[in-house]
Amino acid sequence: MALRPTWTSRSRTRGKILDAIRASRTISRVELAAATGLTGATISELVRELIDDGLVVEAGRGAPTGGKPRTLVQLDPRARYSVGVQMERNVCVIVIVDLAGRPVARTSFRGVASMPPDQALPMIASQVDALLAMAAVDRDRVLGAGLVSYGPQDRRAGVLLSPQPSEPWLEYPVAERLAQSLGLPVLLDNDAAAAAIGEYWMGAVDRRSTYGCIYMASGIGGGVVVAGDVYRGSSSNSVELGHMSIDVNGDPCPCGNVGCLENYAGPSALVRQAAAMPALAERLVPDPDSADFLTEFARIAAAADAGDPDARHLIERSARYLGAAAVTMTLLFDVDAIILAGPSFAKAGSVYQTVIQEEVDRRTAAWRTHPVRVAPSVNGPDAAAIGAAALVLQSELTHGRTQTGRGPGSHARPVAAVADD
Amino acid sequence: MALRPTWTSRSRTRGKILDAIRASRTISRVELAAATGLTGATISELVRELIDDGLVVEAGRGAPTGGKPRTLVQLDPRARYSVGVQMERNVCVIVIVDLAGRPVARTSFRGVASMPPDQALPMIASQVDALLAMAAVDRDRVLGAGLVSYGPQDRRAGVLLSPQPSEPWLEYPVAERLAQSLGLPVLLDNDAAAAAIGEYWMGAVDRRSTYGCIYMASGIGGGVVVAGDVYRGSSSNSVELGHMSIDVNGDPCPCGNVGCLENYAGPSALVRQAAAMPALAERLVPDPDSADFLTEFARIAAAADAGDPDARHLIERSARYLGAAAVTMTLLFDVDAIILAGPSFAKAGSVYQTVIQEEVDRRTAAWRTHPVRVAPSVNGPDAAAIGAAALVLQSELTHGRTQTGRGPGSHARPVAAVADD
């Protein structure tokens, strides 16, 4: 069963200070007081505690401002680490990130999706162990692991609510099982939500921003972040962009909806569309029935990026459909940026970015009171895995989940954890 | 210029207690401590203050529980009032509501939209004065007025960002001007957001619920509330449901988007559709070019409700389109209820409710981890005006905006106020 550790107002305040230090890279105590609205005494006391715990180090003196020179503090990026695990349709990506959110090790492998969870999860755990060993990361400094996937979830219970990738995964306690195998707390979350928060953790968006993320891997997902917190809704199953209808007269989807975005703009739809164009199909889609449609899609995207007009037509049309979703996201969530994340934006990212920006500019002109920037994720194709690790850092450190005084020796509990809202 | 009064953690705590008293109607201090997580001492002190300020009164003893009988407290609904003003396309609705959110007086009149704002706003103020006098409400007990309208706004500055109802309204300081005329603080907000929060204030939804509102008057708007707070996004111009595309291949709209919901499902679209059906047009749309399309629409809706098959076909189709929007709202915001509010749901509300519920059930089945209830607003056709008044109560009382000790005599400031987020 997933446990929900208690947290206190004090640790939340501590998290706020840590988040401000992280965001500004180096900062003085006086600037911290100004940035957080906390008193100098509170800042001094909690910065001292963060230094004692090894999370923060002093980093020289600030530029002279006439008075006493100010001592700067910064995160020690090697003080803590977290693990991000992304389960995609036919690949599993694992990253280890440091306290600054930077990946220090990465691996990916196939085959997990075809296994039942009671085999797959221990195998993932052994891959995490191997990666930690390879990166020479002290296990006592690892805060936990974030496991992200697609489809509906019960995030608090740590179970998937759809039979994906296969029937035995439905309602299997994935977070708890991985936590047992790893001996680390594990939180379960949505891959697109993770990709969205990773952007915040890396400082790529303003801390007060409301922004959206369109995540495209084998399918299409979405996430919205409001001032550093993932928009959750009533059960954390929000922003299901891939199954949003863009055509009220469109074809029915197995999900129950009609005209779902994913069936117009997603990789498998593009491969289907390409297979129906004989000249293009001959060149780029040798095996349209291949289960590995992502390889075929990557080939089309690369051809589009290299100037193949047929391939470009398909990718541009896919981008217009995604643009429609970006417009809806703008009108409903009032975002000021839309981040494009995930491996399926890797090959023709600039085409997607240009077209989606055009659609948003043209189609929301009457409503927007501010510009909406469309930009690629700073975390590249691994955005979901890196974001999964960032969710752990956020949950354990800045949302007040940290055990004061916890350091090497006080080992993480081998139970599933739950990110707070 | 809109002023932004400061508020303190203490007044926020006081607001939390007041909100808990409001929500439970009558409650003991012990139950209040349990409901809010505050200490008994804090509860006692702040309840005493609320009683001294006249907002709360003692209301007898609770049922015996074996120990000392507990004194119950409740709001004094007549302790404070607020004013709600809705500016619609061709009608202005004004309500006075008491502290429990119940309307105690109401008026509506036409003609305001055809005036420039420097004539219209003083006229609205004089109507408010007359209504307060008629209802014999002591002006010193009126906390302020909420002014709600449609289209993009700068909520903090209190100005409309579109030339609606006519060019002189664009960027006119409506909140400040009305505040000057009224001698009361005025906040500007979106009509659909107001209708949404009104539902919360009246206790019609669970306090922790995430729910959406589809608001239909001359146009279509939307609002989402998360645990009692309106979802705002980056500039408070969120949930613009009427100009969300439901058809990526649809006709262009003057707003810049294509296939906008309002052009399929809204009252003026229905009148246009009816005018193109000769048999129906002859019976129900004598003047299809009338500027007053809401009267024609109401006639069609009433005929549908009475069983006219042609009229019913049109209303059901409109409801299916709104159902598509409700599905998108469910998938993106993960709501657990969708409230139908506004005067255009008044005549055929049960047809709309039935069809929209069907669409949500059928088309989100694979994603929902909980039921989504579609229900009419408890505030009826005046939901936006009542909600506008509720926004004032919420801002002034439960969001910590109350001036401690303010009572009869300490008159409201004649400046525009701004609801907090």
Give the ipTM of the model, two decimals please.
0.92
Interface of A with B in 62-121 (CB under 8 A): none
Set of chain B residues whose Cβ sits within 8 Å of the Cβ of A240:
331-332, 367
> Is residue B168 located within the same domain as residue B247?
no
Q: How far is A402 from chain B (nearest CA, A)?
A: 22
**Are residues A241 and B332, on separate chains, in Cβ contact within 8 Å?**
yes
Set of chain B residues whose Cβ sits within 8 Å of the Cβ of A226:
233
Q: Which amino acid is at B417?
A: A
What's phi and psi for A404, nearest 5 deg? Answer: -55, 135
* Residue B315 structure tokens: 């209303």
Q: Across residues B159-175, what is the average pLDDT?
A: 92
In a domain, residue B311? The reply is yes
Q: What is the pLDDT of residue B284?
A: 87
Q: What is the pLDDT of residue B229?
A: 94
**Are residues B363 and A336, on separate chains, in Cβ contact within 8 Å?**
no
Interface of A with B in 240-279 (CB under 8 A): 240-241, 243-249, 254-259, 264
In a domain, residue A237? The reply is yes
Q: What is the pLDDT of residue B369?
A: 81
Q: Is the dihedral of CA A232, A234, A239, A243 positive or negative?
A: positive
> Is residue B229 located within the same domain as residue B351?
yes
* CATH, residue A317: 3.30.420.40
pLDDT at A361 over 80: yes
Set of chain A residues whose Cβ sits within 8 Å of the Cβ of B328:
244-245, 328, 332
Q: Across residues A158-164, what is the average pLDDT?
A: 91
Over pLDDT 90: what percentage of chain B?
75
Count the Cβ atoms, other than its own, within 10 Å of residue A409. 6
The beta strands (E) that lie in A262-368 are given as: 337-341
**Are residues A332 and B363, on separate chains, in Cβ contact within 8 Å?**
no
Which of B334, B355, B358 has the most A C-beta neighbours within 10 Å, making it the best mutation to test the interface with A? Answer: B334
Set of chain A residues whose Cβ sits within 8 Å of the Cβ of B249:
247, 249
Point out the residue among B233, B249, B320 whose CB comes nearest to the CB of A247.
Answer: B249
Q: What is the pLDDT of residue A412?
A: 37
Set of chain B residues whose Cβ sits within 8 Å of the Cβ of A188:
none
Interface of B with A in 134-163 (CB under 8 A): 152, 154, 161-162
Is A86:A191 a contact under the CB 8 Å cutoff? yes
In a domain, residue B414? The reply is no
pLDDT at A331 over 80: yes
Q: What is the pLDDT of residue A23?
A: 85
For residue A357, give the nearest of A381, A383, A327, A334 by alpha carbon.
Answer: A327
Cα separation, B254 vs B238, in Å, equals: 19
Count the Cβ atoms, other than its own, within 10 Å of residue B136. 8
**Are residues B331 and A243, on separate chains, in Cβ contact within 8 Å?**
yes
Set of chain A residues whose Cβ sits within 8 Å of the Cβ of B256:
362-366
In a domain, residue A417? The reply is no
Is A85:A94 a contact under the CB 8 Å cutoff? yes
Q: Across residues B216-224, what is the average pLDDT?
A: 97
Q: Is A286 exposed, middle or buried (0-12, 13-18, 19+ CB in 10 A)?
A: exposed
Which of B190, B232, B241, B367 has the most A C-beta neighbours within 10 Å, making it the best mutation to test the interface with A? Answer: B367
Interface of A with B in 371-390 (CB under 8 A): none
Q: Across residues A88-99, what is the average pLDDT?
A: 94
* Residue B18 structure tokens: 């007041």
Q: Is A12 exposed, middle or buried (0-12, 13-18, 19+ CB in 10 A)?
A: middle
Cα separation, A356 vs A318, in Å, equals: 10
Cα separation, B212 vs B232, in Å, equals: 13
Give residue-wise pLDDT tens across range B307-324.
Answer: 999 999 999 999 999 999
Point out the residue among A152, A244, A369 whose CB comes nearest to the CB of B235.
Answer: A369
Q: Is B115 exposed, middle or buried (0-12, 13-18, 19+ CB in 10 A)?
A: middle
Cα separation, B225 vs B192, in Å, equals: 11
Cα separation, B215 vs B204, in Å, equals: 16
Measured in whole angstroms, how far is the alpha carbon of residue A62 from the centre of its chain? 34
Cα separation, B239 vs B333, in Å, equals: 10
> Is residue A190 located within the same domain as residue A86?
yes
Q: What is the pLDDT of residue A62?
A: 78
Size of interface A-B (CB pairs under 8 A): 163
The 3-state DSSP composition of chain B as helix, strand, coil percent (nearest 5) reads 45, 20, 35
For residue A337, give the nearest of A201, A207, A191, A194 by alpha carbon.
Answer: A207
pLDDT at A213 over 50: yes
Collapse the DSSP code of A344 into the 3-class scheme (helix H, G, I; strand E, B; otherwise coil) and give the result. helix
Better-scored residue on pLDDT, B259 or B59: B259
Q: Across residues B109-121, what is the average pLDDT?
A: 92
Strand arrangement of the beta sheet that strand B27-28 belongs to? B27-28, B71-75, B56-61
Is B294:B346 a contact under the CB 8 Å cutoff? no
Strand-pairing partners, residue B73, are B27, B58
Is A413:A183 a contact under the CB 8 Å cutoff? no
Domain boundary among B75, B98, B113: B75
Point out the residue among B264, B332, B364 whose CB comes nearest to the CB of A238.
Answer: B332
Q: Which of A47-51, A67-71, A371-375, B238-242 has the lowest mean pLDDT?
A: A67-71
Q: Which of A45-49, A196-200, A217-221, A368-372 has the lowest mean pLDDT?
A: A368-372
Q: What is the mean pLDDT of chain A?
A: 90
Q: Across residues A321-342, what is the average pLDDT?
A: 97
* HSE-up of residue A84 (Cα within 13 Å, Cβ side): 36
Give residue-wise pLDDT tens across range A245-291.
Answer: 999 999 999 999 999 999 999 999 999 999 999 989 998 888 877 77
In a domain, residue A416? The reply is no
Q: What is the pLDDT of residue B8?
A: 58
**Are residues B256 and A365, on separate chains, in Cβ contact within 8 Å?**
yes
> Is residue A240 located within the same domain as residue A351?
yes
Domain count, chain A: 3
For residue B174, give the nearest of B81, B82, B86, B80 by alpha carbon.
Answer: B86
> Is residue B50 located within the same domain as residue B169?
no
Cα separation, B17 vs B27, in Å, equals: 11
Angle between helices B174-182 and B117-134 (to 10 degrees): 40
In a domain, residue B405? The reply is no
Set of chain A residues whose Cβ sits within 8 Å of the Cβ of B365:
255-256
Question: Any idea which residue has 């600054």 for tokens?
Answer: A100
Cα separation, A240 vs B248, in Å, equals: 18
> Is residue B248 located within the same domain as residue B135?
no
**Are residues A233 and B162, on separate chains, in Cβ contact within 8 Å?**
no
Is A340:B208 a contact under the CB 8 Å cutoff? no
For residue B205, give the nearest of B387, B377, B342, B53 by alpha carbon.
Answer: B377
Measured between CA atoms, the residue of chain A closest to residue B361 is A256
**Are residues A257 and B363, on separate chains, in Cβ contact within 8 Å?**
yes
Q: For residue B237, what are the CA distances in angstroms to A397, A421, B231, B336, B390?
A: 32, 23, 10, 22, 19
pLDDT at A68 over 80: no
The beta strands (E) that lie in A256-390 are given as: 337-341, 373-376
> Is residue B356 located within the same domain as residue B223?
yes
pLDDT at A15 over 90: no
Point out the residue among B241, B256, B329 whose CB comes nearest to the CB of A362.
Answer: B256
Domain boundary among A27, A59, A75: A75
Q: Across residues B392-398, what is the average pLDDT?
A: 88
Is A273:A281 a contact under the CB 8 Å cutoff? no
Give residue-wise pLDDT tens across range A367-405.
Answer: 768 999 999 999 999 999 999 999 999 998 876 554 333
Q: Across residues A183-198, what is the average pLDDT?
A: 97
Q: What is the pLDDT of residue B119?
A: 95
> Is residue B64 located within the same domain as residue B155?
no
> Is residue A213 located within the same domain as residue A264?
yes
In a domain, residue A343? The reply is yes
Measured between CA atoms, the residue of chain A closest to residue B155 is A369
> Is residue B216 located within the same domain as residue B162?
no
Is A3:A417 a contact under the CB 8 Å cutoff? yes
pLDDT at A30 over 90: yes
**Are residues A233 and B333, on separate chains, in Cβ contact within 8 Å?**
yes
Q: Is A185 left (phi over 0), alpha (psi -120 to 50) or beta?
A: beta
Measured in whole angstroms, how far is the alpha carbon of residue A417 from the centre of its chain? 17
Greatest alpha-carbon pair distance for chain A in Å reads 75
Cα separation, B232 vs A73, in Å, equals: 34
Set of chain A residues whose Cβ sits within 8 Å of the Cβ of B235:
334, 336, 369-370
For residue B340, give the nearest of B180, B184, B220, B258 by alpha carbon.
Answer: B220
What's phi and psi for A367, nearest 5 deg? Answer: -110, -25
* CATH, residue B34: 1.10.10.10
For residue A89, give the nearest of A35, A162, A18 by alpha carbon.
Answer: A162
Q: How confident is the model at residue A1 (pLDDT cuts 50, 70, 90)?
A: very low
Better-scored residue on pLDDT, A295 or A11: A295
Point out the residue among A240, A366, A368 whose CB comes nearest to the CB of B367.
Answer: A240
Alpha-helical (H) ranges within A135-266 are: 174-182, 191-201, 262-265
Q: Which amino acid is at A375?
A: A
Q: Which of A163-172, A242-251, B234-243 has the lowest mean pLDDT?
A: A163-172
**Are residues B363 and A233, on separate chains, in Cβ contact within 8 Å?**
no
The beta strands (E) that lie in A342-391 are given as: 373-376
Q: How confident is the model at residue B223 (pLDDT cuts 50, 70, 90)?
A: very high
* Residue A226 structure tokens: 């409001």
**Are residues A161 and B369, on separate chains, in Cβ contact within 8 Å?**
yes
pLDDT at A140 over 80: yes
Cα separation, B278 vs A264, in Å, equals: 37
**Are residues A210 and B233, on separate chains, in Cβ contact within 8 Å?**
yes
Cα separation, A385 vs A84, in Å, equals: 5
> Is residue A272 located within the same domain as residue A347?
yes
Better-scored residue on pLDDT, B314 or B20: B314
Q: Could you give the dihedral angle defined by the CA atoms of residues B200, B203, B205 and B209, in that order, rounded to the nearest 10 degrees?
A: 60
Range among A212-216, B278-282, B393-397 rated most confident = A212-216
Interface of B with A in 318-377 (CB under 8 A): 320-321, 324, 327-329, 331-336, 362-370
Q: Which structural domain range is residue A391 located in?
A: 81-196+382-398
Secondary element (H or E) of residue A402: none
Q: What is the pLDDT of residue A285?
A: 85
**Are residues A369 and B245, on separate chains, in Cβ contact within 8 Å?**
no
pLDDT at B3 over 50: no
Q: Which amino acid is at A301?
A: A
Cα separation, A17 vs A386, in Å, equals: 23
Q: What is the pLDDT of residue A400?
A: 55
* Residue B194 structure tokens: 């107001």
In a domain, residue A216? The reply is yes
> Is residue B214 located within the same domain as residue B330?
yes
Angle between helices A309-333 and A267-275 (to 10 degrees): 150
Q: How far is A333 from chain B (nearest CA, A)?
A: 5
**Are residues B256 and A336, on separate chains, in Cβ contact within 8 Å?**
no
Set of chain A residues whose Cβ sits within 8 Å of the Cβ of B265:
none
